[in-house]
Structure 1
């Protein structure tokens, strides 16, 4: 099952609610960089100089660079990243909307893998088609610091179905530390589970009930269903659901171990 989770966890430790100082976050990333579950280190363009100040000699740090300023800042982000030999630019993540997507398509460099962060309500057949035509990927937020930042299961199901129908790869971010859908006792917010998302993506590929897969809070049942993925289905699922950003890498790993989906030596 390890292959199903390879590169699934993008390290967003410096973002809320984790807010780990950049030097500490980079050091922790380096310590666990050999983990097959780990994706790139995520840094925002406004904190680029902070990141550069922490870098040392050695293998380049794989970085996904978020560009909160949107399309106008994309050329600068690319040039700065390419000029820094201690960084390997893995991807850009750039916010847009249905109205600004065309401008972003014009600004991106085809040689740089780019995720376009759209509000869930803007993920339609038309916007997904535009992403597919431009060779871009989709990014959607699944949580945050307020209840309205969390799409419900029907809203997220709509995103997954459109992405699968349109043949577009996607990543998610925020609120997905736990493998299984649950209500946070401290905030009362309903969080999606990343195992639920894997299962829901499979259901979207197979024409099954995507909403039910996202809504299921029975951890044993969801984990058992994911454990039944054969290699072919696992590969198809991961070609769509590429990764999710998490400010904690240990919590998702502990969750997978708890459900018996990882060998103990990957703790």
Structure 2
């Protein structure tokens, strides 16, 4: 059984799960504020749960300026910072994940613009999986991971199998959009289950984005949108049967999900995280707070507003 570690230790199930998407909707944190906030996350007791700072291709210049003008960089200059001022305090580059909504045409210029940072990954949106794979094969440094996202309308019916078959023969992950700013952006349980089990049967890793700020499936009281819970997705990630996965995704009782998490074996945790690698969230504190409320995480200090 997967026992919980003592307070202040992040369980393996949540390592690197929360990519910092603070600058994206609905958070829309200004880049100049997102940089110091991300550095606080990376220095906090929960740092093991935090992935890279996600940045769109069109905002890399803004990000570089924010890093160069930050107090941490000013303090580091003269010790380890480069002439462009892009190095974080202590001489470590900022770890950045590139998000390319414009497809493979953005890839080459974005890689060049990201040179001052530690490139943690690339997320490439496309309508042609094979073309995206070819572009990544041609341009992406071999040690940089990537994920390929196709519009959900192209993943329905036979389209899903066709896309996943292309990606499973590549070194790249799939990416699936689990929410957005309108109700139609949220897939139902069956649609998401089809994607999860299609990946599970192929051994294809994936990440998700949007709408997964909370641990448990729920209806947002302000918008009425149906949000998937990231605990639901984690537990469904081990399923290869679509009906079983959909049932897990539909569960709204946090205690039921928490009990299932506590019962996971180390092997199950490995299977789950080899499948579901990360998701983008505009709040880091919110998902951690949910885990603490469910007794799945014991924090040595409270999650303050400035951690968000």
Give 1:47's match in structure 2, choosing from 46, 59, 64: 59
Give 1:169's match in structure 2, choosing from 171, 185, 205: 205
Task: Report the Cα distance in structure 1 between the residues aligned to 2:141 and 2:199, rounded to whole angstroms.
Answer: 20
- In structure 2, the partner of 1:117 is 149
What does 1:81-160 align with in structure 2 at a 5 Å threshold? Answer: 81-82=114-115, 84=116, 87-97=117-127, 100-108=128-136, 109=140, 111=142, 112-123=144-155, 124-160=160-196
Give 2:97's match in structure 1, choosing from 60, 64, 70: 64
1:29 paired with 2:62, answer no
What are the Cα deviations for residues 91-144 of structure 1, in whole angstroms up to 9, with x where unaligned?
1111012xx222211111261311101223434222112112121111111011
> Structure 1 stretches of 5 or more lacking a match?
none
TM-score of the superposed pair, with normalisation by structure 2: 0.81
> Structure 2 stretches of 5 or more lacking a match?
5-10, 68-72, 74-86, 304-308
Cα offset, 1:208, TM superposition: 7.3
Task: Report the Cα distance in structure 2 between the residues aligned to 1:79 and 1:32, rounded to whole angstroms.
Answer: 26
Task: Report the Cα distance in structure 2 between the residues aligned to 1:110 and 1:208, rounded to whole angstroms.
Answer: 39
Equivalences, count:
261
TM-score of the superposed pair, with normalisation by structure 1: 0.94
Task: Single out whichever of 121-130 and 214-223 deviates more from structure 2.
Answer: 121-130
Larger radius of gyration: 2
Task: Report the Cα distance in structure 1 between the residues aligned to 2:238 and 2:165, rounded to whole angstroms.
Answer: 21
1:17 paired with 2:45, answer no
Is contact 1:12-1:42 (8 Å) kept? Answer: yes
Give 1:226's match in structure 2, choosing from 226, 247, 261: 261
Is contact 2:211-2:227 (8 Å) kept? Answer: yes
Is contact 1:125-1:166 (8 Å) kept? Answer: no
Q: CA RMSD in A?
A: 1.5
1:80 paired with 2:113, answer yes
Is contact 2:179-2:185 (8 Å) kept? Answer: yes
